[in-house]
Each structure stands twice: as C-alpha cells, then as structure tokens.
Amino acid sequence: MTSLHQPAPRYDLLQAPLIGRLLRWRWGRLVGQLLLLAVALLMLFDGFTGPKLAPTNIATVVTWVHYRGFVMFALLLVGNLFCMSCPFTLPRTLAKRLSGNGRRWPRRLRNKWIAITVLLLFFWLYEWLDLWASPLLTAWIILAYFVAAFVLEAFFAESPFCKYVCPLGTFNFVSSTISPLQISVRSQDTCHTCVGKECVNGSTAVLGCGTELFAPQIKSNLDCTLCLDCARACPHDNVALAWRNPLAEVSRADTWPRRWDVNLLILIFAFTGVGNAFGMVPPVYQLEAWLMGVLQTNNEGLILLLVFGVLDLLLPVGLGVVAAWGSRKLSQNHESLRLNVARYAPAFAPLAFAIWFAHYAGFHFLTGALAIIPVLQNFLLDVGISWFGQPNWALGPLLPMSWIDPFELLALLVGTAASLHVVGERARLVRDEFAAQLPWIFLLLVLAVSALVIMYLPMEMRGVG
C-alpha cells in the first residue's frame, strides 16, 4: 500500500507568484464563475431570441465549438478548469444559504451509476434531438443545468450534483485523471497533527470540500472540481496544487476504488468517444436506415437508443467483461472479474481522452473557433450596435485545414501509445504476465483503430434545428 509520507510536491501552483495568490483568494473562484455566468446569460439570451441557424447563434457555437474545445485543452494542459469556474454552481451557493444543511445523499446512490446513466442519456438526447443544430434546445439544456444544480444543492448537504449527476462533471472528472495538476498537501505531518481537518470539514468562514475529498489522501483527480475550497479552508496553508506526471494517476494501482461503477465508467467514456464521432459519418445514417427497415419503425429516438445503447453501453461493458475473462483464462489466474477489470480499465483513460480530444479540440475547435467573430458581429448588429462592422462569415479555422488531420492523427497515436504503456505499468505492479495483458491490449487497439477509421471517413451532418 501507499506510504503516508509522500514527498512534498515539487512545484506548487498555489505558491506561484500572483497566480497562486489569485487562486487562493477568497473570491478567486467567484471571479471565474461570474465571468462564465455572463457568458452563459449571453448564450441563453441568444439561444432563446436569436437566429435559428446553429452556426450563427452564440448558444450553439459557444457550446459545441468553444466550450468543448477549451475544456479539452484545459484538461490536457492544466486541469479541470471548467468545473473550477462552473457557473451552474453559483445559484447553488445561494441554495446552500437558503436551505442550511440538507440531508446527506443516500448511501445507495453514492457511486457512479447515476452519473453513467445521465451521461448516456445526454449523448442519446444529443443525437436524437440534434442538439448541435438547435440554439433553442441548447439554451434549454443550459437552463436545465442551472435548475438541476440548484435543486439538488438545496436538498442535500454536500454537492451531489457535481459528484453524482452532472454529465459535464463526469466527463471532466474522468478526463482530468490524465491532467498534469492535482490537489495534494505540502506536509503530511502537518495533516497528522491537524485537529479540525478544515479542508474537508470546512470552518465557520469557509466551506470544506463539496465533493468530500480529504486533501492529504487525494491520489486522484476523480471528483475534484478544482474549486480550491480546501486550500482556502486549511488553517495551516498546507494544501498544494502540484504538477505531476500526467500518467502517474492511471499507472498506479491504488488510486481508484476497485469498483465496477468507476472502472466501467472509464470504458464507457472511451467507447462513447468513438460512438459520438460515429454519429457524424455516413455509415451511421445507413445503419439507421437499415434498422428502420428491419424493425419496421420510423421512430428515430428508438433506433438511436438501440444504436447508441449498443455502442456506448453494451459494447464497453460486454467487451470489458470478455477481456477480463480472457485475461484470467490466459494467465490461469483465479481473481474475480471485477479485480481484473479494475486492473486494466484505468489504462483506457489516455486513449479515451485522445479520442475526445481529436474530435472536440482537433476537429470542431480548430476548424471553427474563429466563427465566433462573425457570430458576435452579427449579434451586435442585431441588437443595434454596428461599431464592429459586417460579419465576415469566411472566418472559422484556427489552423490551415490541411493540418487538422495530422493533428488528430497525432493525438490518437499519442493516446494509444500512452494507454499501451499504462497497461504494461499496471501489469508490472502485480507481475501479471504478458498473456494476461493480451485481451486488453487487443481491445485497446480495436478502439484506437475504430477511432482512426472514423476520423478518415468523410463527414456527413444531418440534423434540423
């Protein structure tokens, strides 16, 4: 097991000049939140009242191009910056004030099953309602986030919305397991003698960790919203936000609970990455048409539930269990399937992230980031401000289009290599022989190749706003 005397963090962002001060500042988080709140209000306004055409509306462009792109770059280069500045939790703070201390989230729900369900539901709605094509629906989704965060917070003591429900949170938590920053402490000894444990318990002045993580024991970014409440609450100024090897967390055996929910979530996250990209290429429409013929139905919601139920749920769970079974068989090991899945599923995190990164950051963001300029010009014209001139709709790509494919390819290759490396590392920890790794390596490669093939297919985009 782990030694309690972890070395003091090498580089602590909280001690950096200026930025460290800003981060630890009592209202530091609020600044970011208010900024994003302003953006969210603008998106709601344009979503509800603006142009119906998705590429010309702030709500759709910012959500499906900029939000997704920024989040991926932030997670890769820094950490879970979106949750840190999440505007949805602002009214929630108000809810806390109103309700005082609510009940605790029920014990039976203290796992990732609801989060998985909501995540899958979200991806299904995304395909069924063509969310990317509808400013109005996108605005409704944003509104729903505010309401859901507020309601759950009003009724429960901790922050159940972030930890157990929010699909954005789930997405960001899983992705942040390969982020280079993580909360830790400067001195374990200080924590040993600390009486109040304010980082998690909070004090009269400051809230403790909303997702109930205990700073000196944190080994994983899962469930950390990077709110830094812990750093503000600690009376000994002992909390650090330290750089780490991005593969450290997923390479170590003791960082995640060896539970089905957490480990299947990683596999599901990887497969939904492929599924979500598959939703944008011609074969998905051929598959839908074929299924409609076979099943004699025109119900698109049902067909999509079937397609993505298989891709996003059945395949990751089924193939994960099969791989574990094969791994056990080949190595003549008698451990439970759960333990085998828990050993190798975390290795999928880098590849999974790379698939999402290639799609959201590599494709949508790099090809469409500048589109926000004409969209904003158009918006300003529409509300009667003409200082910024006529929109130039030719603006869009951030890089020459010919760079996009190599960029995505590079992301996928790096992700695949990292995942293969992690498989080896995790096997080495328990001296698992190569045969035990084989089924998992095979599954990883199947996933990587599927992602590559989809990337090189021509695109087709359907959907009516």
d(CA 413, CA 84): 30
Cβ closest to another protein, residue 21 vs residue 52: 52
Minimum CB–partner distance for residue 221 and ligand SF4 (Å): 8
Q: Does 371 bind another protein (CB under 8 A)?
A: yes
Binding-site member from 12, 127, 130, 249 for another protein (CB under 8 A): 130
Distances in Å between the Cα of 361 and the Cα atoms of 55, 70, 368, 406, 446 are 17, 7, 10, 13, 22
Q: Which stretch binds another protein (CB under 8 A): 110-118, 232-240, 431-439, 453-461?
A: 453-461
Kindly list the residues in this chain that would bind ligand SF4 in the complex (CB under 6 A): 183, 185, 190-191, 194, 197-199, 209, 211, 213, 215-216, 218, 224-230, 234, 236, 238-239
Count of residues that interact with Cu ion, criterion CB under 5 A: 1
Per CB under 5 A, contacts with Cu ion among 274-293 are 280
CA dihedral (371, 374, 377, 378) positive or negative: negative
CA distances from 100 to 96, 153, 186, 410 (A): 6, 10, 32, 50
Measured at the CA of 144, the angle between CA 106 and CA 130, to 5 degrees, comes to 120
CA–CA gap between residue 12 and residue 183 (Å, rounded): 9
**Contacting range for another protein; rule: CB under 8 A; set: 16-24, 57-65, 149-157, 260-268:** 57-65
Distance of closest approach, residue 77 Cβ to ligand SF4, in angstroms: 18
- CB-hemisphere CA count at 13 Å for 359? 26
**CB of 48 or CB of 113, closer to another protein:** 48
Q: Closest distance between ligand SF4 and the C-beta of residue 6, in Å? A: 12
Specify the 3-state DSSP secondary structure of 221.
coil
Strand 181-185, strand 239-243: pairing: antiparallel
Nearer to ligand SF4, 226 or 448 (CB): 226
Sole window of 125-133, 156-164, 421-429, 444-452 interacting with another protein (rule: CB under 8 A) = 125-133
Closest CA to 215 of 171, 228, 204, 93: 228
Per-residue x/- marks for another protein, 131-150, CB under 8 A? -xx-----------------
Cα–Cα distance between 179 and 182 in angstroms, integer? 8
> Which does residue 325 bind out of another protein, ligand SF4, Cu ion, none, counting CB within 5 to 8 angstroms by kind?
none
Q: Which two tokens stand for residue 231?
A: 């750093």
| 343/334 Cα distance (integer angstroms) | 14
Select the binding partner of residue 63 from another protein, ligand SF4, Cu ion, none (C-beta < 5 to 8 A, by kind): another protein
Based on the shown chain and the rule CB under 8 A, indicate whether residue 464 belongs to the binding site for another protein. Answer: yes
User: Which amino acid is located at 292 in the chain?
Assistant: M
Question: Is residue 56 a contact point for another protein (CB under 8 A)?
Answer: yes
Question: Which member of 2, 6, 49, 117 binds another protein (CB under 8 A)?
Answer: 49
If one asks whether residue 460 binds another protein (CB under 8 A), the answer comes out as: yes
Half-sphere exposure of 65 (CA within 13 A, CB side): 26
Q: How many residues bind another protein (CB under 8 A)?
A: 41
465, interface contact from Cu ion, another protein, ligand SF4, none, CB < 5-8 Å by kind? another protein
Closest to 251 in 3D by CA, of 343, 353, 326: 343
- Backbone φ and ψ of 90, nearest 5°: -70, -55
Q: Determine, following the binding rule CB under 8 A, whether residue 100 of this chain makes contact with another protein.
A: no
Which runs of consecutive H residues, i.e. helices, occur in 281-348?
A: 282-295, 300-309, 315-331, 337-344
> Dihedral angle at the C-alpha atoms of 333, 338, 343, 349, nearest 10 degrees?
150
Contact pattern for another protein over residues 277 through 296, marking x by CB under 8 A: -----x--------------
CB of 4 to ligand SF4, least distance (A): 12
Asked if 79 touches another protein (CB under 8 A), the answer is no
Q: Would you say 4 or 459 has its CB closer to another protein?
A: 459
The residues of the shown chain that bind another protein, judged by CB under 8 A, are 45, 48-57, 60-61, 63-65, 130, 132-133, 282, 364-365, 367-369, 371, 382-384, 393-394, 396-397, 458-465
The residues of the shown chain that bind Cu ion, judged by CB under 5 A, are 280
